[in-house]
Structure 1
Amino acid sequence: MKKIIFLFIVLISQQILFSQTENIPKKITQKGFAKIDFLSIDMPILEIDGILSEEPNMGFTGIHYNLFLNDEFYAGVGLYGSISGIRGGFFTLGVNAGLKKYFSEKLYADTGFHFGGGGGAGAPDGGGAFILPHFNLGYDFKDFSINGGWSYINFFDGGEIKGHQLNVALEIPLDFEYSNYKSAEKEIDLNSFENNSWNQNPKRNSLMVHFNNLKIKGDTQGINNGKTIKLAGFEFTSYIHKNWFTFLKVDGAYDGIRAGYMDVFLGGGYHLSMNNNRTNILAKFGIGAGGGGGINTNGGFLIYPDISLEQQLFKDIYVSVNKGYLLTPNKDFYTSTFGVGIKYYIERNGVKIENNSFTQGKFKGFEVIVKQDMYFNAKRMEDVTEHMHQISLQVNLDLNKNIFVAGQTSFANFGNAGAYAEGLVGLGLKTNPMLNNSTSFFTQVLGGAAGGGNISTGQGLIIKPSLGFNYELSKTLNLRAASGYVKAKGGELSSPFINLGLKYNISFLKLK
C-alpha cells in the first residue's frame, strides 16, 4: 500500500511540474545582426538654366537590422541618409535580403539586395524607388565584423542617380529572445520562473514620444534664420550597463517652416538616478543626418549633445524635459533645442532582479509591419495630381489584448514624389482572433509630420485613420491589409489610400 501511495505522489508531482512548465511560454532565441554601412555615390551632372553643373559625391550611410532566416539567409529593414556632399535631408527607407556564407571560421562572403524609396534635398530622385545590390567580403572578429566590396545604386523610377561604387560596413551580432505572440497578456508570478530559462538578468529598454523645438541660427539659412521648427518624433533606448545606454532618435517637422525637415540620430549616454529612482538625469551625445524643408545642412551630417531631466509619473512612465544643441561641424547650421516627452521604461526577458517592487512577469505583444501604401490622387503644390506610392515601417506595442500604440515612418517610392516622407504616432484597436483563429480586424488613427516631394501638406501636420485586417500565415507572420484616408492640416492633401504588407509579431516578458 505504501508503494502505491508513493507512486501516486510521484505521478501527481510530475503532473504538477509538467503543468507549471506548460504554463510558462517557451523562450525562443532569434539570431540577428545590426549593420552600419557607407558608400560614396557619384552624382549625375545636371543642366541648370542651360549650364552643366557638377557636384561632389553624396556620402550615403545606412542603419540596418537583419534577422537570420536560417544559418545563411537573412532579411530585414534599413534606413539611409546623406552625411556629406550638398544633399543634406536626403533619406530613404527599404527592405534587405541576403546570403552570408563562411569560407572559414573568420572569412565570409555577403551578397545581398536592398529595395526602398525616398530622396529629398532637390536631388534627381524621380519617384524615389531604388535598388542597391552588393557583394562584399568580410572578416569576423567574433564580437563584430567588417566587410566591404562592390555595390550598385539605381533610382529607376525616373531618377538620374545611378552607378557603381565601393561600400564598407560594420556589423554587430544582435540576437533577441521572445515567445509566441499568442502568449501576449499572460501574467505569471515571478516565483514560477525559478527553474526556467527566463531566470536570467533582464534587459532594459525605453520608448519615448516627444516634441522638440529647434531655434534656427546660421547665416546660410536665408528666410528660415531665426525661425523655430516644431518637431514630433520618437526615441528608442537600449541599456548596455546599469547607467550606460545607446539610443536611436527620429524626428520630423510639423510646424514652423515649409514641410520636409527630418533628422535621425544614433548615439549614447549616461543615466543618473536619484530620489529613489523617481528622478533621472540623462546626458546624451549623438551623430546623425538631417535636413529638408528649405533648411541648409550642407551634406547633412549633424552633431547632437543633449541633457534631459525625467520625473516619474507612474511606475514605468516618466515625463522628460530636454535641452541641447543641434549643429553641423562648421556651424553653418546650428540650433538650440528644447523639448518634452513621455517615456516608458521596460525591464524585459529576465527575472533576476534586486528590486523587490516587481512581483509578476507579463508577456507583451510587439509587432513590426512592412507595407506598401498607395495614395489616390495625392495633391501637389505645383505638379499635376497623380497617385503616390510609399514604403512604410510601422511598430506596434500592445497595451492589452485589444489596444495598441503605434509609430510609423514612410517614404515615397513611386509617383514622382521621391522626397516625400512621414513620421507618425497613434493609437489602435483590434479584435480577438476569429474565423478559425486566423483573422483579426483593427482600426487605428495616426498623426504627425509629413512633407517633401511637392506634396501639398502645408507646414507638415497630417492625420491618417484606417481600417484593416490581419491574416495569420505562421506563428510569427501575418498578411496585413488596410484602407483609410489621409488629410493634411493647412495643405491640400486629402486622399483615400490602401496598403498591403507583412506583419511580424512576437511577445516578450516584461516585469511588472
Structure 2
Amino acid sequence: MTAAALPALAQTAFTDTAAGRPAMRDVSGMIMLDYSTITLSDGGAFDLFGVHYMQRANDWLYYGVGAFAPLAQGDYGGFFGADATLHIQRRIAGNWFANAGISVGAAAGGASVAGIQSLSGDGFYSRAYVGLGYTYRNLSFGVNYARVAIAGSPINDATINFFVQRPFSFSVGSYGDAGSVVSSADFDAPAHENIVSLQFNNFAQINPTGRYTGDIGVASTQFTHFHNPNLYSFFAVDIGVTGLHWYNQAHGGIGTRVALSPNVNLYGQIGLGSSGWVTDTVDTGPGFIIYPKAMLEYLWGNGVGATVSAGYLYAPMGTSRNWTLGLGLNYHLSHSEAQARSAPNGLDYSLRGIRLNVFGRTTSSITYNGRESDGISMIAVQADYALSDHWYIAGQIAAAATAFRGYAGYAEGFVGVGWQSNAYANGRLQAYAQLMYGLNDVGVDAAHEVGALLYPAVGVSYHLNDRLSLYSQLGAAVSLGQYVGSHTNTFENYSIGLGVTYRFSLPTRS
C-alpha cells in the first residue's frame, strides 16, 4: 500500500459514514505458536514456547506482537519475554510456503535473584528465522532455522524452531465512527461468542519450598472464544500485584460452559502454560504448569457478568502447588448464538473506539532510594478505550530493553484515565493528558520494592489518517509510598516516548 493511498482509505470511511452507514472492513491475521530448544553458551539446557498475534499487512507481509517463556528444559520458571515481529510469508508451490522474520523485544529471568544477571544479560532480545511450512485446511505448520540471542547473556544459539499457525479474521470500523450502532446483518458479525475477563486471583501456596512462602495476588485477564454454544478455547495472562510483585504466568487451553439458569453459567476449563518468578523463590522448575479452574458467572445484563472462581495450580516439574480463589467481571463482546437465531434481521452492535500505542520510552537518570542510577530504555504498549469524545481509560505495560542497576527485566504497569483535546490543524493534531496508577519491578526482592507509582503524562498525536498516528508522550514516575508511609524506598524519574498509534473501532454488543 502506498502512502498516497492512505488518505484515500480514510476518506472512503468518512464518505460511507456520511451516507448514514458506518464503513466496516475485515482485518485478517493469524495466531502463531512456536517452540525452540536452546543450548546455553555454558552448555545448559533451555527452551522457549511463544505465542504471537500476527496481523496481515498485504499478501506477504505480517506484523505483530507476542510473548514467550520456558516450558520443560532448564530450571528457570518465571523467565518471561515479549517482542514485536515482522514476518514475511509467501506460497512457493501447492500448499508449501516459505517464511522469514525478525523479532526484537525484552526478556529476563533466572534460577535466583543473582542468577538474573548471569542468565538475562542486558535483557535485549532478538530473533531471526527462515524456513518452510505446509498448509492443510485452516492449519499451517512447519520448521524454521532460527538465531535467538539476548545481549550479554548465555542465551545465544542457532536452533530449529517448530511452528503452528491458524488464520482468522474479524471486522472493525473507522475510529471516527466510534459511538455509532451497526446491525449484525451489515457486517461479518462473530458467529460465536467472545468474552473478555478481568479478575483478581489469590494463589495460596501449599507447603512451599521456595524462599517466598506467602500468598500471591495476581491481576488476571483472559480472552475466551467459543467454537459452539458450549465449547471454548482461551488464553490468559496473570501478573502479581500483591505478595510477590510481577510474578507472571501465561496459559491457554479448553473449557466448557453449562447454563444453570438464564442468568447463571458454570464454566470449567483446564490450562497449560508457563509460570513463576525466579526458581528459588517459587519453585515451578522449568516453568510448566497445569491449571484446572471452575468459574460461576451471574449475568447482570448487556453482556456484563460477575464471577467467582476456584482452581488448583501446580507445576509437575517443580514443587509449587497452589489453591486459587478469584473474583472478577466478564464482558461478552458478542451476542450468543441463541440470540442471533432469534433475530434473523440482525442484532445491534456498538462501535467502541480503541487506540493501540506502541512506543519507545527513554528515562532520565533514576533516583532510587536516595541514589542516582543511569536511565533505561523501555518498550511500551498502551491501550486506550474511548468513553466519550474527550475521556478515555488507559492501560500501559513497559519492559526495559536495558539493565537497571545491573539487572534485566525491569517492568512497569499502569492503569488510569485520560483526557484529549479537540483535533486541530485540519483534524491532524491532538493533545492529551493522563494520570495513571501502577507498580514497577526493581528486579531484586521485596526489601527493595517501592510500592505504588503515580505516572502523570502529557503528549501530542499527529494523525496521518483515520487508522495511523504518530505518538509522543512525556511522563514522570514517582513512588507514593514515601508520602503515605507504606514504603521507605523511593523512586523517581522522567521519560520521553515516541512511537505509532493504530486506531479503530471494535463492534461490541449494545
TM-score (norm 2): 0.85
CA distance in 1, matches of 2:397, 2:283: 23
Aligned to 2:181: 187
Among 381, 391, 397, which residue is 2:379 paired with?
391
1:304 matched residue in structure 2: 291
Could you tell me how far apart the structure 2 residues matched to 1:116 and 1:20 are?
Answer: 39
- Structure 1's 499 and 161: CA in aligned 2 closer, same or farther, altered over 3 A? same
Summarize the alignment of residues 13-28 of structure 1 with structure 2, pairs less than 5 Å apart. Answer: 22-28=19-25
Match of 2:313 among 326, 334, 356: 326
Contact 1:349 1:509 in 2 (8 A): no
SS of the aligned residue for 2:293 comes to strand
Alpha-carbon distance change, 109 to 337 in structure 1, aligned in 2, over 3 angstroms? same
Aligned partners of 1:302 and 1:327 also within 8 Å: yes
2:80 pairs with 1:91: yes
Q: What is the number of equivalent residue pairs in this alignment?
A: 476
Deviations 1:359-404 (A, max 9, x none): 6432111222222122323356899721122212233332333333
After superposition, the Cα gap between the structure-2 partners of 1:83 and 1:449, relative to the gap in structure 1 and judged at 3 Å, is farther
The 1:400/1:242 distance shift into structure 2, 3 A limit, reads farther
Given residue 492 of structure 1, which amino acid in structure 2 is its aligned partner?
Answer: T
Whether 1:44 and 2:41 are equivalent positions in the alignment is yes
Residues 1:77 and 2:65 aligned together:
yes
Structure 1 pair 107–362 and aligned structure 2 pair: CA distance change class (3 A): same
Q: How does 1:410-421 map to 2 (within 5 A)?
A: 410-416=398-404, 417-421=407-411
Q: Distance in 1 between matches of 2:498 and 2:229?
A: 41
List aligned pairs for 1:275-294, cutoff 5 A: 275-276=261-262, 278-292=263-277, 294=281
Whether contact under 8 Å (1:360, 1:511) holds in the other structure is yes
CA distance in 2: counterparts of 1:503 and 1:351, whole angstroms: 37
Instruction: Summarize the Cα distance change of 1:380–1:62 in structure 2 as closer, same or farther, 3 Å threshold.
Output: farther
Give the superposition deviation at 1:233. 3.0
Structure 1 gap ranges (5+): 1-17, 46-53
1:316 matched to 2:307: no
Q: CA deviation at 1:320?
A: 1.3
CA deviation vs aligned residue, 1:246-297 (integer Å, no higher than 9, x gap): 222112212223x341111112211223332x22211121111111153221
Aligned equivalent of 1:498 = 496
Quote the Cα distance in structure 2 between the aligned partners of 1:186 and 1:264. 35
Q: CA deviation at 1:27?
A: 2.2
Q: Distance in 2 between matches of 1:387 and 1:479?
A: 24
Query: 2:285, 2:318 within 8 Å by CA — same for their partners in 1?
Result: no
Q: More deviation in 481-490 or 141-150? A: 481-490
Aligned-pair distance for 1:467? Answer: 1.9
Equivalent residues of 1:466, 1:482 under 8 A apart: yes
Matched residue SS, 2:285: coil
What is the letter of the counterpart of residue 487 of structure 1? V
Distance 1:383-1:256 versus aligned 2 partners, 3 A rule: same
Corresponding residue SS for 2:228: coil
Q: Which moved more, 1:231-240 or 1:328-337?
A: 231-240
Q: Structure 2: which 5+ residue stretches go unaligned?
A: 1-14, 482-486
Give the residue type in structure 1 aligned to 2:423.
P
Paired residue for 2:457?
466
- SS of the equivalent of 2:466 reads coil
CA contact (8 A) 1:349 1:508 kept: no
Residues 240 and 395 (structure 1 numbering): CA distance in 2 closer, same or farther, change over 3 Å?
A: farther
Q: Does 1:220 align with 2:205?
A: no
- Percent of pairs identical after alignment? 23
Offset of residue 428 of structure 1 = 2.8
* Secondary structure of residue in 2 paired with 1:242: coil
Provide Cα deviations, 1:31-73, integer angstroms capped at 9, x if missing partner: 211101011121232xxxxxxxx53x21101110111211001
Distance verdict in 2 for CA 1:483–1:385, change over 3 Å: same
Match of 1:58 in 2: 46
- Supply the RMSD in Å over aligned alpha carbons: 2.9
Q: 1:404 to 1:270 in 2, by over 3 A?
A: farther
Using the TM superposition, give the Cα deviation of residue 448 of structure 1 relative to its aligned residue in structure 2, in angstroms.
3.8
- Work out whether residues 464 and 485 of structure 1, in 8 Å CA contact, stay in contact via their aligned partners in 2: yes
Deviations 1:177-223 (A, max 9, x none): 212111111135x4xx65x4x275554322222211111234531x3
1:457 and 1:497, CA in 2 relative to 1: closer, same or farther beyond 3 A?
farther
**Alpha-carbon distance between aligned partners in 2 of 1:428 and 1:177, rounded to the nearest angstrom:** 27
Distance change in 2, residues 1:360/1:32 (3 Å)? closer
State the partner residue of 2:8.
none
Partner of 2:176, secondary structure, is helix
